[in-house]
């Protein structure tokens, strides 16, 4: 019996409704060169939630938009999983709040839908898709689809080097059989180790060893790629049309991409073709010690990144995945999922026919684990992706002055009491409306 094709049938994106311009507002206040942000990190702006937004409102608003567009009711959904690393409760999952919001506006309820919350830093959005995939493949879904929501308010302590990479938003995804956008490969690769690079030990803002986190990302990603190749066969640069990767900031993906390219071209005709220009890839056996091997490898990778061949590949396969991230910053659990949408939107804009083509998707969570799998683009991808286009809404965000940014950061800091006015008007969306008797959050739908 052939297994049913399972994957993403619909996607919706909700951005926090404010933005911080990094080059024009953040850099001058920090007395830094704007190009550190635009060129070094590769970011133009970060999204921030307005005062009445949080991970629940952003997730529920993305989900409502998805359900309205797909004409779904609660009876069509058998599972709601929320992936987040910004949860405010160690017991009651965010998915119950999201379900409660949606039940305010739809006939019926989610009483028989399985709800949960996934945690493994940024990789948990992909893990939730895995859970949904496995649930459907196991035949436990009773014909219903799964709603996966990746939602985060990615804030760092003021003055932390990570402050430039903040962001806030949610991605809602419908996982179903015979999906319209992509199917997922059964094969997947994992690179996982106990690491202390980025963590939140019962605290809102992360403790980060930024430089180390970059190295851990690269190492776990390489292991995940090798593990993926051990089950799916050797990967070649021509095998996939786009490579959406977890994007804490685009500069991170730039570093990962050249290492991945070096790995997959080793011993191939591409290495041969590049030899006259940059030599062959260093092999460890040819060196006396690890240190001289690593120095030579760094030089090779530097030279590789400057070749026309590599730059063309990067421009076609990786650069299109970064379009949304540049405008919104890090959305943690949602980050790789906006990278996928960015790539598909770029294909749409260039009128490319990518039905049947492959995406190589790389997810990553600090602490740390990377996951790599392939996705096949379905013939119906265009319509679903066009509907998820967030760029008009990104353009409508309220642009924060630096003083307003400080207020909004305080408004979302659990340790600070603030009374500030919202910068935008809610319109046809869920809002955080206050607190209940057991300190639970209360939500309302505003017409
Ligand atoms: N013009 C052009 N480029 C400039 C520049 C200028 N004027 N000034 C600096 N740069 C470049 C730097 O050379 C550097 O690029 P390279 O790494 O390619 O050399 C880049 O801009 C950043 O500069 P710094 O390294 O000096 O920046 P920093 O030390 O202030 O902070 C960071 C960088 C450590 C990544 C910090 O942003 C951070 O801690 N971020 C949070 C952690 C993070 O995102 N880690 C990523 C991997 S972990 C992960 O992926 C999980 C997750 O989502 C958090």
Rounded Cα distance between 400 and 327, Å, is 14
CB proximity list for 350: less than 8 A, separation 6 or greater:
none
The residues with which 93 forms a beta bridge, in sequence order, are: none
The residue among 102, 192, 116 whose CA lies nearest residue 148 is: 116
Condensed to tens digits (0 to 9), the pLDDT of residues 411-434 reads 999 999 988 999 999 999 999 999
Q: Whose CA is nearest to atom 42 of ligand 1?
A: 210
Give the number of other CB atoms < 10 A from CB of residue 196: 13
User: Is 364 a pocket residue for ligand 1 (Cβ < 6 Å)?
Assistant: yes
User: Is 162 a pocket residue for ligand 1 (Cβ < 6 Å)?
Assistant: yes
Distance 148 CA to ligand 1 centre (A): 30
- How far CA 48 is from CA of 74, 125, 310, 328, 358, in Å, comes to 29, 20, 35, 8, 33
Distance 213 CA to ligand 1 centre (A): 10
Rounded Cα distance between 222 and 280, Å, is 20
On the question of a cis peptide bond just before residue 368, with omega within 30 degrees of 0, the verdict is yes
Give the number of other CB atoms < 10 A from CB of residue 441: 19
Show the tokens assigned to 108.
């019926």
6-446 is a CATH 3.40.47.10 domain: yes
CB proximity list for 5: less than 8 A, separation 6 or greater:
177, 178, 179, 183
Lowest mean pLDDT among 2-6, 26-30, 49-53, 141-145: 2-6
Show the tokens assigned to 414.
């659990």
DSSP of 111-142: TTSEEEEE-BTBTHHHHHHHHHHHHHHTT-ST
Predicted structure pTM score? 0.97
Residue of 26, 27, 37, 40 to mutate, ligand 1, most atoms within 8 A of C-beta? 40
Average pLDDT over residues 57-67: 98
How confident is residue 1, by pLDDT bands cut at 50, 70 and 90? low
> Over pLDDT 90: what percentage of the chain?
98
Q: Whose CA is nearest to atom 16 of ligand 1?
A: 40
Condensed to tens digits (0 to 9), the pLDDT of residues 106-139 reads 999 999 999 999 999 999 999 999 999 999 999 9
Rounded Cα distance between 80 and 99, Å, is 8
The residues with which 45 forms a beta bridge, in sequence order, are: 21
The residue among 336, 382, 375 whose CA lies nearest residue 357 is: 375
Instruction: Tell me, yes or no, if 18 is annotated catalytic.
Output: no
Instruction: Tell me, yes or no, if 85 is annotated catalytic.
Output: yes
pLDDT at 428: 98
pLDDT at 419: 86
For the purposes of burial, counting CB atoms within 10 Å of the CB of 279, is it exposed (0-12), middle (13-18) or buried (19 or more)?
middle
Condensed to tens digits (0 to 9), the pLDDT of residues 159-185 reads 999 999 999 999 999 999 999 999 999
Show the tokens assigned to 337.
């999922």
User: Is 272 a pocket residue for ligand 1 (Cβ < 6 Å)?
Assistant: no
Q: Whose CA is nearest to atom 34 of ligand 1?
A: 210
Distance 135 CA to ligand 1 centre (A): 38
Condensed to tens digits (0 to 9), the pLDDT of residues 230-266 reads 999 999 999 999 999 999 999 999 999 999 999 999 9
Condensed to tens digits (0 to 9), the pLDDT of residues 175-218 reads 999 999 999 999 999 999 999 999 999 999 999 999 999 999 99
Spell out the alpha helix ranges (H) of 160-268. Answer: 210-232, 250-265
Distance 30 CA to ligand 1 centre (A): 15
Are the C-beta atoms of 211 and 198 separated by less than 8 Å? no
């Amino acid at each position: 019996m052939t297994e049913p094709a399972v994957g993403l049938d619909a996607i919706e994106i909700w951005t926090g409704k404010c933005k911080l311009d990094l080059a024009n507002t953040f850099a001058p206040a920090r007395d830094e060169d704007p190009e550190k942000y635009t060129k070094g990190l590769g970011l133009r702006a970060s999204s921030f939630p307005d005062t009445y937004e949080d991970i629940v409102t952003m997730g529920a608003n993305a989900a409502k938009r998805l359900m309205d567009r797909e004409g779904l009711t609660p009876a069509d959904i058998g599972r709601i999983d929320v992936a987040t690393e910004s949860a405010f409760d160690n017991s009651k999952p965010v998915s119950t709040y999201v379900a409660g919001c949606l039940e305010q506006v739809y006939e019926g309820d989610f009483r028989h839908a399985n709800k949960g919350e996934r945690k493994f830093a940024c990789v948990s959005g992909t893990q939730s898709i895995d859970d949904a995939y496995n649930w459907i493949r196991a035949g436990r879904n009773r014909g219903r689809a799964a709603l996966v929501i990746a939602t985060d308010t990615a804030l760092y302590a003021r003055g932390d080097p990570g402050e430039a990479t903040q962001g806030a938003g949610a991605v809602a995804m419908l996982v179903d059989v015979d999906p319209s956008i992509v199917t997922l490969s059964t094969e997947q690769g994992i690179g996982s180790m106990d690491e202390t690079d980025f963590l939140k030990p019962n605290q809102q803002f992360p403790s980060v060893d930024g430089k180390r986190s970059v190295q851990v990302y690269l190492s776990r990603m390489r292991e995940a790629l090798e593990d993926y190749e051990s089950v799916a066969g050797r990967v070649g640069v021509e095998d996939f049309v786009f490579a959406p990767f977890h994007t804490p900031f685009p500069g991170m993906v730039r570093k990962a991409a050249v290492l991945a390219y070096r790995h997959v071209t080793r011993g191939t005709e591409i290495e041969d073709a590049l030899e006259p220009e940059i030599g062959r890839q260093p092999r460890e056996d040819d060196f006396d010690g690890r240190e001289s091997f690593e120095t030579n490898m760094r030089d090779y990778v530097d030279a590789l990144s400057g070749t026309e061949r590599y730059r063309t590949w990067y421009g076609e396969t990786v650069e299109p995945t970064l379009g949304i991230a540049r405008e919104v910053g890090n959305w943690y659990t949602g980050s790789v999922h906006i990278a996928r949408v960015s790539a598909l939107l770029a294909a749409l804009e260039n009128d490319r026919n990518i039905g049947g083509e492959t995406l190589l998707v790389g997810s990553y969570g600090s602490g740390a684990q990377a996951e790599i799998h392939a996705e096949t683009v379905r013939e119906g991808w265009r319509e679903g992706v066009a509907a998820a286009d967030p760029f008009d809404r990104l353009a409508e965000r309220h642009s924060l002055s630096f003083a307003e940014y400080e207020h909004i950061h305080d408004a979302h800091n659990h340790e600070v009491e603030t009374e500030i006015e919202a910068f935008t008007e809610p319109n046809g969306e869920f809002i955080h409306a206050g607190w209940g008797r057991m300190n639970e959050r209360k939500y309302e739908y505003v017409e």
